[in-house]
Amino acid sequence: MDKDSEIIRQATWDDDNVPDWIDNIDWDKYEQLAAIGYKPEQIAMYYAINKAEFMYFYMLFDSKLKYHYDRGKLLQQAKEGIGMMADAPFNSNTALRLDKTRRRIQFRTAIDDIIYGGF
């Protein structure tokens, strides 16, 4: 195995090489904490996990911690957006909020496309 492949392997999530505390995480609750807006470091504190160790595993490629964190935020944003879509035709304030939400999401997506190349 070449040096670059080994580095990538070491920086990638591996279900067979995770700490024991992973089993103590309730993924639904974890996603809810992310949806509320808690930072990953705060979620580590909630679960009484060493912050440095938690962040190490959070930052790995294909991290299960990062996936569920992002999923929790997405589900909440989608729920709010879907609710606004239903109310927008009947409420001008909601229509304005929906437009701002769309623009914010489009802006964030454009930034991510520029920085990360669209993936």
Per-domain residue ranges for the chain? 17-116
Residue 89: its pLDDT value, please?
86
Residue 2: its pLDDT value, please?
72
Q: Sign of the C-alpha dihedral, residues 33, 34, 36, 39? A: positive
Residue 109: its pLDDT value, please?
80
When comparing pLDDT for 8 and 61, which is higher?
61
Please say if the pLDDT value at position 30 is more than 70: yes
Share of the chain above pLDDT 70, in %: 96
Give the C-alpha separation, 29 to 46, whole Å: 11
Residue 66: its pLDDT value, please?
96
pLDDT tens column, 81-104: 899 888 888 888 888 988 898 898
Q: What is the mean pLDDT of residues 47-72?
A: 96
Give the C-alpha separation, 38 to 21, whole Å: 19
Provide the whole-model pTM.
0.77
